[in-house]
Structure 1
Amino acid sequence: MSSMRIMISRAAASRVLSSVGKLPEEVERAVLLSRSTFGNIRTMASKAITIENINPNILKLEYAVRGPLVIRAAEIEKELEKGAKKPFKRVIKANIGDAHAMGQVPITFIRQVLACVSYPELIDKGDFPADVKQRARDILGACGGGSVGSYSASHGIELVRRHAADYIARRDGHPARWQDVCLSSGASTAIKNCLQLLCNDVGGKKSGVMIPIPQYPLYSASLAEYGLEQVGYYLDEKTNWGLSTEELERSLKEAQKHCNVRALVVINPGNPTGQVLTRENIEAVLRFAREHRLFVFADEVYQDNVYADGSQFFSFKKVLRELGPEFGELELASFMSVSKGYMGECGLRGGWVELVGMEPDVQANLYKCVSAMLCPTVLGQTAVDCVAKPPAKGEPSYDLWIKEKTAVLDSLKERAKMIVETFNQMQGFKCNIVQGAMYAFPSISLPPRAVDAARAARQAPDVFYAFRLLEETGICVVPGTGFGQYPGTYHFRTTILPQPALLKEMLDIFKAFHEKFTKEYS
């Protein structure tokens, strides 16, 4: 029905109303309903973008760590502010890896340099260490007009890219070219930029990307957005979320029936699973990638976050270089961020990707694509510089920097231990050791009656559990459904980021809730 006909129908309905006076109540409701319906249809017909013609990939996109539970948590916060009576006084947001939001104190050196580049008068007037002032001068000298308010080169300030390459070389013991380092507004932007290179059907089939299950929802969301095929491979919970080449082969073989698998994502240390890959494991993954000509996405943003005794971070780049020249053609993108580690500077949006083995023409076109976004935030690039080139021993800022860094990582190590021990004391819970990163991903056995109640509510059982937890305690976690999990299992992800006192309070509340929930549905 055209909008013109709808308008006539509405006018006719109005004439009827005016001519007959008061209608019976049920008839009046029907007429008002028709007015509302006609009006909605007219509005839809006059819009260029409707839910019917929107990009279907956007409709498929989901991002669990900021999904319905988090929206409800925000609503509850507003209700509390207005004086609503709840069985708790505050919402504890254990759903996202936002360290500063959970009380982590910023690293002094980073913030001092940021202050000086933002307000250069502080360089001469402020009471800052000499190395802070010199760093600010160096960064400002690399900025157009000597101001962080100017655009930088699209792939980042050359000085900062050089410092990032130096960081990689120190870390791995192998050279890194600064021209292969591209700065970004957080690692997420760099990951999405590289994924876009794969947006091309080959031989009439979609391009597929292998991602771990459980996975960080950025990947599933981005693959949906770009129309790429998600190819999941399961991590083995029984071996502390181990990554086996047998499972990689199974997943690849199954996926090749309907898509061209062209890339492999590995998250190390793991999110949401908290495992740290051994060197032998990384070698096996690289051999698999070389055999099947796969582009490797090495998500290594938690490389500073390693806690368990016997665990050690090895970068994919380092292992690749040490496997020998026959691996020289393997393509690898390694991602780093200032949002995680000991820094936790999520809001500054700073990160980088190092490109290894990429064809020069492809890399040039990636940089061309990056240039369309102008440049990463220059304050974010400043934070990257402070991480890539921290104070050196003997410099004025070193002692405080190393003290703060050590304190943050030591505290995270204790919290990782605390959260695992607590969950493993709870009936029906099993939580693997958190070797690294910032999260625990425990499995939970739910009573059959709770599963039935979830189905009646048209929710996944772990979603049902998480909503009950939020509404009754104010604790916000993310159900395992949002990350992917082995069929028939239930999990949730919680961060280890609440400061020790708050984390203990959260775990005590969690334990009491779980006992009550289990008793209710047993």
Structure 2
Amino acid sequence: MSAPGPFTELLLRRGAEIRSQIQQQGLKMPFTEVLELHTGDLQAMRQKPITFLRQVSAACTYSPLLNDPTLPSDVKQRARTILASCPGNSIGCYGEAGGILVVRNSVAKYLEQRDGGIPADPENIFLFNGTLRGLSFILKFLMATYNSERTGILVPVPSSLACRRIITLLGGAALPYQLDEQSGWTVWSEELRRVQEEGCVSCRPRVLYVVNPGSPTGHVMDRACMERIIRFAADEGLLLLADEGHPGDVYSGSLQLLSFKRVLHEMGPEFSSVVEFMSFNSISKGHIGESGVRGCYMEVLNVDPTVLSHFRSMVATFVTCSLPAQIAMEVATNPPDPGDPSYPLFQAEKQESVGKLAAKSQLTEEMLNRVPGMHCAPIHSGIYAFPRIELPARAREVSAALGQPPDVFYCLRLLQDTGYLLAPGEEFGQKDGTAHFRMTFAVPIKELTLALEKIVDFHQRFIAEFS
């Protein structure tokens, strides 16, 4: 979880004040507690951890469990295989720079299966303690490599503030390109071109960063959108940097989450052998949901051999991914096979987690879209809704007089009236003149239903007050 931006920080401070007033001063409010729905942490919101993952991690950490008759045989075998690749058969060792080979082999096998047989080389796979660590390292490496010019990175908005913060901190230029909400948050070549040309005034654009599925929007890119992005990266000689999800964590059975590597390959050698490409995925997402373990893999393709050699040297010097994170990554990318003792439970837990999120995303979308002046685009993955809210002119006038963006004013009023803390869309980047909020739907279904009912009721009262 990244640190909140200034507007969410304002809401958090106000929430802390209200909480103190209720608990310490006995102030009577229309609610008894402040509930933070601005961000999401799956297991904190009571998603059950995957048993197989926890059992393998436990056996690797405390080796006497390898003799425990209550542990399934495939758990013990997996733990022995992982420990055999660690110096001294212990996860207390340093391990290999970039990740121990058995884990990188499992990631490579997972990628090959995901992409329909397209080979993946373990030597081009690197492990990091979380996506932000990996992203920070690669951006720092790129900026150091091209230190004669300020490096520009095209970044989607709406998206997490964290990437833009990292770029700024490292001395680069974040070049936001706007996703088109009316077309399901798609990316248009004309928008990329506009941002690219404007960016050339102050920097040298070198990287095109994409997030699929989108966050906080929850959309999944179609093939046409991905092909547009790939063609643009090829035409402009940009490194394509993709933060991607797991295909199994999509909520629509008719929708397929394609990887950029697969689309790149299927577009033919003129793209698959030319476009420089790096792809991330983490164990914080979806049915795995191990946010606190902080595990991430990165695959590198088509990078100049000299640059890649230097990159490996820098990884060996500065990067060590913790062994507990690597163990979780190994299990996440190499789950039990059909016929293994742990397979039935693993499948049941995965289906339960994805099924619950799918049901909650549908409930959220349906309830928000019933309200005049509120529109929630289809949510196909993730744990957030990012609805657009139409606010009356008078509400915008009041917010301007207070020096607050309209959706910040709206979220502050909602917090005061309901006790629900949401994140204003201004934090994530949004088209001028629009207003949004981000809320998680990962909470238990009863709590979510009550929250949605109160948010809908507040919205109707807010519109009536300022109309």
Tell me if 1:343 matches 2:288: yes
Q: Is the 8 A contact 2:126 2:299 kept in 1?
A: yes
d(CA) in 1 for partners of 2:15 and 2:262? 42
Does structure 2 retain, via aligned residues, the 8 Å contact 1:223–1:229?
A: yes
Corresponding residue of 1:197:
141
1:476 to 388, 412, 421: 421
Residues 347/84 of structure 1: CA separation in 2 closer, same or farther (3 Å cut) = farther
Is 1:64–1:483's contact at 8 Å kept on the other side of the alignment? no
Per the TM alignment, residue 373 of structure 1 is displaced from its structure 2 partner at its CA by: 3.9
Q: Structure with the greater relative contact order (CA < 8 A, sep ≥ 6): 1 or 2?
A: 2
- Any conservation in 1 of the 2:216–2:385 contact (CA below 8 Å)? yes
Residue number in structure 2 paired with 1:357: 302
Amino acid in the other structure paired with 1:393: P
Residue 144 (1) aligns with residue 87 (2): yes
* Structure-to-structure mapping, 1:210-359, within 5 angstroms: 210-301=154-245, 303-327=247-271, 328-359=273-304
CA 1:65–1:499: 2 relative to 1, 3 Å: farther
Aligned equivalent of 1:116: 59
- 1:224 and 1:373 mapped to 2: Cα distance? 21
Q: How high is the TM-score relative to the length of structure 2?
A: 0.93
- 1:13-54 CA-to-partner distances (Å, cap 9, x unmatched) read xxxxxxxxxxxxxxxxxxxxxxxxxxxxxxxxxxxxxxxxxx
Q: Which moved more, 1:192-201 or 1:278-287?
A: 192-201
- Map of 1:67 onto structure 2: 9
Structure 2 residue 100 is the aligned partner of structure 1 residue 157: yes
Please state if 1:405 is matched with 2:361: no
Mark the CA change 1:374 to 1:206 in structure 2 (over 3 Å): closer, same or farther. closer
Task: List aligned pairs for 1:432-471, cutoff 5 A.
Answer: 432-471=377-416
**Does the C-alpha gap of structure 1 residues 519 and 277 become closer, same or farther in structure 2, counting only changes over 3 Å?**
same
With normalisation by structure 1, the TM-score equals 0.84
More moved, 382-391 vs 82-91: 82-91
- Give the 3 Å change call, closer, same or farther, for CA 182–521 of structure 1 in structure 2: same
Pairwise CA distance, 1:359:
1.8
Letter in 2 for 1:118: T
* Alpha-carbon contact 1:143-1:157 (below 8 Å) kept: yes
Query: Hey, what's the Cα distance between the residues in 1 that align with 2:12 and 2:179?
Result: 26
Partners of 2:149 and 2:100 lie apart in 1 by 39
Distance in 2 between the 1:484 and 1:341 partners? 24
**2:124 aligned residue:** 180
CA contact under 8 A between 1:118 and 1:148: conserved in structure 2? yes
- Name the amino acid aligned to 1:384: M
User: Over aligned residues, Cα RMSD in angstroms?
Assistant: 2.1
Indicate if the aligned counterparts of 1:97 and 1:438 stay in contact, CA closer than 8 A. yes
- Residue 167 of structure 1 is matched in structure 2 by 110
Q: C-alpha deviations, 1:305-357, integer Å up to 9, x for none?
A: 21235321110111111222222021111101000021111001011101111
Give, in angstroms, the shift of residue 64 of structure 1. Answer: 6.2
Q: 2 CA distance for matches of 1:394 and 1:64?
A: 51
Q: Which amino acid aligns with 1:183?
A: L
Distance (whole Å) between structure 2 residues aligned to residue 364 and residue 82 of structure 1: 59
AA partner of residue 179 (structure 2) = L
- Which residue pairs with 2:71 in the alignment? 128
Cα contact 2:109–2:120 (8 A) shared by 1: yes
Do residues 93 (structure 1) and 36 (structure 2) align? yes
- In structure 2, C-alpha distance between the alignment counterparts of 1:263 and 1:316, rounded to whole Å: 15
Matched residue type, 2:102: L
SS at match of 1:508: helix
CA distance in 2, matches of 1:192, 1:299: 13
* Counterpart in the other structure of 1:33: none
| Aligned residue pair count | 462
Cα deviation for residue 488 of structure 1 reads 0.7
Tell me the amino acid that sits aligned with residue 401 of structure 1.
F
Q: What is the letter of the counterpart of residue 117 of structure 1? A: C
CA 1:204–1:359: 2 relative to 1, 3 Å: closer
2:68 maps to amino acid:
K
Give the C-alpha shift of residue 204 in structure 1.
6.5
CA shift in 2, pair 1:97/1:305, >3 Å:
farther
Indicate the percent of aligned positions where both proteins have the same amino acid.
37
Q: Which moved more, 1:287-296 or 1:298-307?
A: 298-307
For 2:147 and 2:64, locate their aligned partners in 1 and report how far apart those are by CA, in whole Å: 60
- Cα distance, 1:291–1:465 mapped onto 2, change above 3 Å: same
Q: Write the letter of the residue equivalent to 1:379.
A: P
Tell me, which stretches of 5 or more residues in structure 2 are unaligned?
none
Q: Secondary structure at the match of 2:208?
A: strand
User: 2:45 maps to what in 1?
Assistant: 102
User: Of 500, 508, 512, which aligns to 2:453?
Assistant: 508
Q: CA deviation at 1:217?
A: 1.4
| Separation in 2, partners of 1:273, 1:286 | 21
Q: Structure 2: how far apart are the matches of 1:221 and 1:105?
A: 32
Structure 1 gap ranges (5+): 1-60
**How big is the shift at 1:81?**
5.2
